[in-house]
Amino acid sequence: MIFREQSFFASLFSKSWVSVLLTILVTVLMFGFLIFIHELGHYLTARLCKVSIREFSIGMGPKIYGRVSKKTGILYSLRALPIGGYVAMEGEDTESPDPNAFHKKKVWQRMLITAAGGFMNLLLGVILTFVYVLTFPKYYGNTVVDYPEFSYSNQCTEPLQVGDEILSIDGHSVRTGQEIVYELFRAGGDKKKVYTDEEAEKVMMKVDLTVLRNGEKIVLHDVVFPVGKDEGVSYGLRDFYYNAEAKSLSSTFKNVGRQMRLNVKMVYESLFDLLRGRYGLNQISGPVGTAGVVGEALKNDATASEGQSRNSFLYLFMIISVNLGLFNLLPIPALDGGRLFFQLIELIFRKPVPLKYEGMIHTVGLLLLLLLMAVVTFKDIFGIFT
């Protein structure tokens, strides 16, 4: 049965037009679900706080479907563009005489409503992380158990040894194989750590490792690892094997916690790397670029051989959900975090910023975000044809 499923899905992705249609469909459904979960958070907390709601919309632009509830008078709509959604509340951006207007609620209630969308995406991220971790055949730890035929990290001046338990890489705590891979990957992009080995004609990097060896914590300086490069991005590579442990209830929860911590760290460090100029605009993807990544993930899962994990799409879904939740909570005008920032000012100084001024700032922020999305989308489309 497994091999029939594999050949069926693999044959689907061998037909380019079918794979394109499947990719578009799955991408739209994925974004639609993420938007629904996000807006549901705003909607439920607004209802809980008895705020007057005009519309609950999934998508932006022209309305495809709409239904007005006879009980509440709320318009529930589905719109053409799966790039966002909204819960339209009375008095959110302008003054309203409605006694249940958003701006007339207590500041802590407004903060709760505003933060609920991002919280729901993070909650979904936790659930997806739990499912993702359950797909692992085994859980990989941080103890060195073996090396391939040749390895740089056990041939340098202060080498790693079999039995070493790696506690940190350049000061960053690691406890799982996934964390080791990420920290080495990231270190390979640091120009201060990377060098060219003229004799071997290879690009290498040096990192400091804190390890537990024979019960003693020691620091290994300038441990050497190989460096790879793809599409202009350099990354470090692991050249040793780490231990695997049997799955249990306690190890599952431990790995879920570490994986969620890693997910959050990846999102924020990627953002900071972008601001610092480590990554260029070509490394940012909009909906079109994301659809391409979704297609690759689906293809990897469909063509995976027996014994290989089929969790590429699940991993992508998990990361995007966490990314959406965290990004929305950043203090950027037009985002939930920008609104939370103004509400925090009101909470501290006991006086709100006038709605018309706050609304103007959010409008400018929205225009800039739409401009950025347009540029990134154009870049993604241009990349398809070049």
DSSP calls for 150-203: S-STTTSSS---TT-EEEEETTEE--SHHHHHHHHHHHTT-TTTEEEETTTTEE
118-133 average pLDDT score: 96
Chain center to CA of 365: 22
Among candidate residues 254, 226, 222, the one with its CA nearest the CA of residue 240: 226
- 10 Å CB burial of residue 87 (0-12, 13-18, 19+) is buried
- Answer positive or negative: Cα dihedral of 131, 136, 139, 140: negative
With a CB cutoff of 8 Å and minimum separation 6, the contacts of 150 are none
d(CA 35, CA 59): 8
Residue 386 pLDDT > 70? no
Among candidate residues 337, 225, 215, the one with its CA nearest the CA of residue 271: 337
Tokens matching residue 52:
């007057």
Residue 310 pLDDT > 80? no
Structural domain boundaries of the chain? 2-133+321-385, 139-245
What secondary structure letter does DSSP report for 281? G
Provide the pLDDT for residue 378: 80
325-340 average pLDDT score: 94
CA-to-CA dists, residue 6 to 10, 299, 310, angstroms: 6, 11, 11
d(CA 335, CA 365): 8
Residue 270 pLDDT > 90? no
**Stronger pLDDT, 25 or 19, i.e. the higher one:** 25
With a CB cutoff of 8 Å and minimum separation 6, the contacts of 40 are 120
User: What is the pLDDT of the chain when averaged over all its residues?
Assistant: 88
Provide the pLDDT for residue 263: 93
Residue 7 pLDDT > 90? no
Q: What is the pTM assigned to this prediction?
A: 0.86
DSSP calls for 107-135: HHHHHHHHHHHHHHHHHHHHHHHHHHHHT
pLDDT band at 308 (very low <50, low <70, confident <90, very high): low
φ, ψ for residue 362 (rounded to 5)?
Answer: -65, -35
Residue 3 pLDDT > 80? no
Provide the pLDDT for residue 17: 65
- Answer positive or negative: Cα dihedral of 252, 254, 257, 262: negative
Residue 16 pLDDT > 90? no
Residue 8 pLDDT > 50? no
d(CA 204, CA 235): 10
The three-state secondary structure class of 3 is: helix
Provide the pLDDT for residue 11: 52
Topology classification of domain 139-245: Pdz3 Domain (2.30.42)
**Stronger pLDDT, 301 or 15, i.e. the higher one:** 301
H or E segment to which residue 330 belongs: none
Tokens matching residue 221:
């300086």
